[in-house]
Amino acid sequence: MSSRLAAKLAALWRLGFAEATAYRASVLVWVLATSLPLISLVLWRSIAEAGPIGDYDQGGFDSYFIAAFLVRQLSASWVVWDLDRQIRTGELSALLMRPVHPVLHHAVFNLSALPLRTLLAAPVGLAVLLATRGIVVADTALLLGLAIPAIMLAWALNFVTQLAIGCLAFWLTKAAALYDVWLGAYIVLAGYLVPTSLFPAGLAAVARVLPFHAALGFPVELLVGRLSVAEALAGLGLQLGWLALLGPIAAFAWRRGLRAYGAFGA
């Protein structure tokens, strides 16, 4: 990476951080909105009071949903709403004039809000850690090490999906509403409300190969030590596979969309 690009990215990072701080109320609402695994935790732990459900006992649910909260915070992205607005209002024109690719701009902006998000989420997470039996993580360094790329790939998957759907705003007026459709499926199928391994067998088999599970359930299960090394590697491969499929779609939509955008004379 050339030092000039690095300087630009550092400037963007500071800008993104400042913006996140300015809109801290909004960031706080995001943190709250993504705290729902913690409500699921309370719910499932009371259902599991009479005995374990599948291979999850109360402690198992505690670990799973605390990890889900953590992964959700670290893999969050909101480029679809930003892009939707920028295309609709023409703000994108200003971004196109800058010496950094707009997609890179958004990626840095999303990442630079992470420290503040973590700071706001930390008290919530800490309180839950103290109130429950805490989190039991994978017991080998190798599995924990694999969880790091898994979380990074989960972020990339969220970002690329949102980018692809956000690009539809070049042609449609309600691209963000289409993302709600994706989000509805994500909430049910990603292991956000219940671990997908507890689904009825047929549904579980389908859900576990979909990109929703790759973007949340898989890194969570890896983090709490429910996967073997072989399963972890297979999961990472699946994440890369979805990324290899969704990435080109997003890139294609971006390039075609930009042409349509220019055609409006904006």
Partner 1 sequence: MSWRRHARIAGAQLKISTQAALEYRVGFWTEGVVGVLWSLGGVVPLVVALDHRPDVAGWGFWEVALLTGFYLIISGIYAALLQPAIAASMAHIRRGTLDYLLLRPIDGLVSCLLAAFEPWSLIEAVFGVALVIGAAIQLELSPSLAQLGTLALVFGSGLVGLYALGVLMLAVSFRALALENLTYLMETLLDFAHWPISVFRGPLKLVFTFVVPFAVMTSYPAQSLMGTLEPHALIGAVLTAAGLAAIARWAWCRALRGYTSASS
Residue 62 CB, shortest distance to partner 1, in Å, is: 14
Read off the DSSP letter of residue 147. Answer: H
- Least separation in angstroms between residue 32's CB and partner 1 is 6
Which of 6, 122, 181, 206 contacts partner 1 by CB under 8 A? Answer: 181
C-alpha separations of 94 from 97, 120, 266 in Å? 5, 31, 11
CB of 148 to partner 1, least distance (A): 27
DSSP codes joined into one string, 167-205: HGGGT-S-HHHHHHHHHHHHHHHTTSSS-GGGS-HHHHH
In angstroms, give the least distance from the CB of 23 to partner 1: 5
Number of other CB atoms surrounding residue 237 within 10 Å: 10
Collapsing DSSP to helix, strand or coil, 224 comes out as coil
Distance CA 69, CA 90 (A): 35
25 scored as a contact of partner 1 (CB under 8 A):
yes
Q: CA-to-CA distance for 181 and 20, rounded, in angstroms?
A: 26
Which of 103/176 has CB closer to partner 1? 176
Piece in contact with partner 1 (CB under 8 A), picked from 27-35, 91-99, 118-126, 145-153: 27-35
**Residue ranges binding partner 1 (CB under 8 A):** 23, 25-26, 29-30, 32-33, 36, 39-40, 42-43, 46-47, 50, 53-54, 81, 174, 177-178, 181, 184-185, 187-189, 193-194, 198-200, 203
